Chain A
Amino acid sequence: MRAIIAGVLISAAVVGAVEVLFRKAGGLPSVAAGLTRVEFQWKVKRARDRDGVVLYVVGDSRVGWGFAERIFNREYASLAGSDRFVAVNVGLAAANVPDNLEYILRLNAGRPPQAIVLNYSPAAFYLFLNDPGPPIPGLKIQDVLDDRLDSHLAEWLWTRGRWHDTTAQIWGYLQTRRVAGSVNFVHRTAFDDGFVNATLATNIGTPVDNAAFQLAFYRRMIAGLSADAANARKRRARVSEIVRSGRALGWRVVLVRLPLGAAVREVEAGLPQDLQADALAKALDVPFVDYATDPRTAAFDTLDGSHLTPEAARAFAPIMAGDLYRMMNDEFDALDRPQS
């Protein structure tokens, strides 16, 4: 037993030393800035197995951070007088929308059609590549709990499971004795209302101007997408094809754009016209609600120009629930009736 205790102490000392060196070398934790893949898959699996109509709210971190599903569901249930309509926030950080849509449709193959609320963001539709991964066999609650533990530990133990990053970072530092500045998300927080967010931080301790960081990112992105519009159009065509196949099976689809900061909205307006949200809605032939320009929501606070603050997310959910109820309840209700 003494050998084991000594082994644990030596290991702890080595891990501690590496952690200190990693931080000194400018390393940063690896935190998912939104839903993780396990959480995404678990939510889709649970939603699939429930009775009633499910509204999958699909998008990137704008959905993950800004859609308070529980508040939405309470509001929708009070309007519809039934809790058979449930929305699920499946906004994956840096999501590749076509892949996420395909995942949801594939997992529901052979089951009654449901509803999808797509949140428009140029990055999610035309740029980001994060997908939910292959379905995890035998996914169970323990996997989700483990995933949560991993997410928490990632805030404290930055080098855990990151041998390559750690050695590269430390080696680079030892070679040059200089820390290259970098920015990453930290402090991942899961809110009871059904959304998750995180905070931007630098590795050298300087404060991050979140709005400026996001604006610079979106400027670069829109310039890139405009220069390579052909590739963006290919992705748009893929989304259209998936949405068409889903609708052919009876799925109901709605396109929305969540509230945004004015500066980011202006930058996004620089995209070619046919890649903008309203053109996309026409191409998909689905109803579209633009909350980014809607007077009720356009001035909602954002954390960084791109993502809603928790307070704004809470205020926004009942508005969206009311709109969807007025626009779509008959359609959703039809999904809930037994098929003849």
Chain B
Amino acid sequence: MVFNSLFFFLTLIPVLAVYFATRARRSRFAKIVLLVYSWIFYAMWNPAFLTLLIGSTVLDYSVALGLEKWPEHKRRLLVISLVIEFGLLGFFKYYDFFIATTASAFRAIGIAWSPPLLHILLPIGISFYTFHCVSYTVDVYRGRIRAERSFLDVAVFVAFFPQLVAGPILRASHFLPQLRETPAIRWKDIADGITLVLFGLFLKVVIADNVAARVGYLFDHWQVIGRLATWSAAMQFGVQIYMDFNGYSLMAIGLGQILGYHIPINFNAPYAAAGFSDFWRRWHISLSTWLRDYLYVPLGGNRHGTARTYANLVITMVLGGLWHGASAMFVLWGAMHGAYLCAERFARERIALRVPLPPAVISALLIVVTYLTVSITWIPFRATSAEQCLGMLARMFNGDMHYDAALSRDYAIALVVFAGHCLSRRYDFIAQALNRAGVRLVSVTAILLLLYFCSGERSEFIYFQF
């Protein structure tokens, strides 16, 4: 199921009614209701893939208990769990990609090999729930949390519908303790949750879906557009993906809050980042912290010298890119971000720049440079072929400067979003809407009217494909 639909809200209402009626006295039953709805929510895409979700849950529930019961075999158990979890992810998501890439490599050295491709359907959300499961098993292995005895709690943690298919990626250490308690829900929590859901719907339905058509047009006509339009394509896609993904995240957080559970934020005005490490502290926070804790740090982080640190940064970002999808374009996107992070680290550690400008001006320049540089990386992220990607990247620096009226609108939208992010470094508008009744009233009214009159053509959330 998707959030941006009437059908979802119509089915949610009776579920919420049963949940609230039973939550206080029969909390176990309320959790079963949540679990069943979460599984139905997932099965609406393809019921067959529900078995994978349940299989992953059973596997990691059992492995976690085994880790505590047989500590002498804990390494072996962890390896089994990781091999199965990443094996499934690899098979469904990367099998065709790796086979095709290997065949291309063979062809390049003159060996003709045409292996069959399976054209496997990707189970929705597999990247997200695999990371949930892995974080749970690894945390139990490391002794950071105890293995959960209740299968119901583990199953709800893995399948919790607000964040099941597109995050934010939950940590067991954060969420399982919440499931053990009966959540205390106040009217304020419900009101805040509803407000967040409305903000999320607004970002997705009113902004992202309306920008999507223009983005599609610019990327479809990449061969004939000029330099300014190519930059506009990159920036517009930056707007679209932020609004789309942050919209989903806000809805997830809001729905969690209505149900009495806290889900951490996933975005914090990323286009106002002053530097690339700052960008990754603000963009898809649950993924970047997951990669830091479960990949970058185990690889050695910055503990083994400069060269290893740079290598670890690039490996982490390339794998982060590959997590998004089986495509060389995502690898390039990750590699670009890895290179940016290395360059930033090098500049900070090795080049002692002394610029005779006030810190505020330096910070503003850094924000603009980071925004423009990050915008470049949206080209490989959105491009559908290497030819398109390289062609558009070249055109950003080498195309003609043709300007037309539609570009004014594009740049105005990008500028408003950019300015909004910069302002939110000082002024958190959503926090204002949650804490001041007047702002909430105006926001809710405006959003409801915009949702009613100005919805764009309904489309899937971009992150569902990952």
Contacts and interface: CB of A to CB of B under 8 A. Distances in A.
Interface stretch (A70-78, A137-145, A251-259): A137-145
Interface of A: 1-4, 6-8, 10-11, 14-15, 18, 137-138, 140-142, 145-146, 149-150, 153, 157, 159-163, 166
A3 B191 contact: yes
A163 B45 contact: no
A149 B449 CA distance: 19
A3 B452 CA distance: 19
B44 interface: yes
Interface string B12-54: 0000000000000000000000000000000011100000000
B454 interface: yes
17 contacts: A1-B190, A3-B191, A6-B445, A7-B441, A7-B443, A10-B445, A140-B44, A140-B45, A142-B2, A142-B5, A142-B7, A146-B5, A159-B453, A160-B452, A160-B453, A161-B455, A166-B453
A4 B449 contact: no
A149 B453 contact: no
Interface stretch (B65-73, B88-96, B341-349, B458-466): B458-466
A3 B453 contact: no
B263 to A, nearest CB: 20
Interface string B167-199: 000000000000000000001101100110000
* Residue among A3, A11, A140, A166 with the highest chain B CB neighbour number at 10 A: A3
B190 A14 contact: no
A138 B461 CA distance: 11
Contacts, number: 78
Contacts of A4: 191, 194-195, 440, 444
Contact of A138 (B124, B438, B448): B124
B453 A137 contact: no
Given A4-B195, A142-B2, A145-B7, A163 B453 contact: yes
A140 B44 CA distance: 7
Interface string B87-119: 000000000000000000000000000000000
B351 interface: no
Contact of A7 (B5, B190, B448): B448
A4 B10 CA distance: 19
Which 8 pairs of residues, A with B, have the shortest CB-CB distance? A7-B444, A11-B448, A3-B440, A3-B441, A7-B445, A1-B191, A163-B453, A3-B437
Contacts of A6: 441, 445
Contacts of A157: 452
A8 B441 contact: no
Nearest to A149: B6
B7 to A, nearest CB: 5
B177 to A, nearest CB: 28
Most buried by A among B5, B438, B454: B5
Nearest to B1: A142
Contacts of A3: 191, 437-438, 440-441, 444
Nearest to A162: B453
Given A140-B44, A150-B6, A2 B437 contact: yes
Contacts of A140: 44-46
Contacts of A141: 44
**Most interface-central of B195, B438, B445, B455 (chain A CB within 10 A):** B445
A163 B46 CA distance: 35
Contacts of A10: 441, 445
Nearest to A110: B119
Contacts of B46: 140
A146 B7 contact: yes
Interface in B407-466: 437-438, 440-441, 443-445, 448-449, 452-455, 458, 460, 464-465
Contacts of A15: 449, 452
A33 B221 CA distance: 33
Nearest to B441: A3
Given A3-B440, A4-B195, 14 more contacts: A1-B187, A3-B438, A4-B440, A7-B443, A7-B444, A8-B448, A10-B445, A138-B45, A138-B124, A141-B44, A146-B6, A146-B458, A160-B453, A161-B453
A142 B44 CA distance: 7
Contacts of B440: 3-4, 7
A138 B460 contact: yes
Contacts of B1: 142
A141 B40 CA distance: 12
Contacts of B2: 142
Nearest to B121: A138
B445 to A, nearest CB: 4
A14 B449 CA distance: 8
The residue in B6, B7, B191, B440 that gathers the most chain A C-beta atoms within 10 A of its C-beta is: B7
A14 B444 CA distance: 13
A145 B443 CA distance: 30
